[in-house]
Homo-oligomer: A and B are copies of this chain.
Amino acid sequence: MKVDIEQRILAANDELASANRSRFADHGVFVLDLMASPGAGKTSTILATIDALRDRYAIAVIEGDIASKVDAEKVRAHGIPAVQINTGGACHLESAMIRRAVDTLDLDALDLIIIENVGNLVCPSDFDLGESAKVMILSVPEGHDKPQKYPNIFQVSEAVILNKCDTMPVFDFDEAEFTSVVRSLNGVAPIFPISATKGDGVAEWAEWLAGRIEAAKAEAAS
C-alpha cells in the first residue's frame, strides 16, 4: 500500500520531469541539480562556479530551502538571477516546483541553470527534476564514511565534489578510503576535491561543467 502511494507520487513527478527536460533541451540550457547535506557548502560552491564561468555563460540559480530566502539573496548580491523555492517542510524539490520556477526565467537568454536542492543526502536522490545532471557535494567535516551510509546519492551523481578540503588536516578524513568506497558505488563519476571559499580545485570542476554545457548546446543546435 505505502509502496503504491510512493510509486504514484514518483510517477507523477517523473512525467513532469520529462516535460522539464524536453523544455531545457529545446533551449540548449544545461540544468544542474546540486545536492548535499545541510552546510556542505552548496551556496559557496555555486558562487565559486558562477565566478569561474560567468564570462562564458549566462547563468541563473534556483534555490530550494524549507524556509528563508537567504541563499537567493546571496546569489542576487552576486549579480545573478535567482528564484527562491520554499518547500514549506518538504525535504526535497520536485519537478512541479522546478516548472513553476523556470516559468519566471528567460530560457532563451540562459546557458546554465544551477538548482540548489534542499540540504539532504537522502530524498533528493529519488526525485528526477528534469535536470541534465545530478551532482553531489560531500564536505570533509562530514566524514569519509558517508558513501557507505548514503549510497544512493553517490550512485545517481554524475560527479562528486569533495568540499572544504582545506580543513582536511583538522578532521580525521581518509581520502583514499573515501575514494575507494565511492568507486565501488559509482565507477565513472569524477571526484573534484575543492575549497569553494578559498578557490582551490574550482577550475577543474568548472571545466568539467563547461564541457557538459557545450555538449548540451551542440545537441540543441544539431
Contact = CB atoms under 8 A, between A and B. Distances in A.
A65 B149 contact: yes
Nearest to A119: B121
A142 interface: yes
A38 interface: yes
A164 interface: yes
Interface in A79-132: 89, 91, 118-123, 126
Contact of A119 (B37, B66, B91, B171): B37
Given A39-B146, A70-B145, A170-B170, 4 more contacts: A5-B5, A39-B139, A39-B142, A66-B152
A148 interface: yes
A190 interface: no
A174 B119 CA distance: 20
A145 B66 CA distance: 13
Contact of A149 (B5, B38, B149, B164): B38
A157 to B, nearest CB: 15
A123 B91 contact: yes
A65 B118 CA distance: 20
B39 A119 contact: no
Interface in A131-174: 139, 141-143, 145-146, 148-152, 164, 167, 170-171
Contacts of A118: 122
Interface residues of A, number: 36
Contacts of A2: 9
18 contacts: A37-B142, A39-B142, A39-B146, A65-B149, A66-B122, A66-B149, A66-B150, A70-B148, A91-B91, A91-B120, A91-B123, A119-B121, A120-B120, A120-B121, A139-B141, A141-B141, A141-B142, A167-B171
Interface in A1-56: 2, 5, 9, 37-39
Contacts of A37: 37-39, 119, 142
Nearest to A91: B122
Contacts of A164: 141
A89 B148 CA distance: 13
A149 B89 contact: no
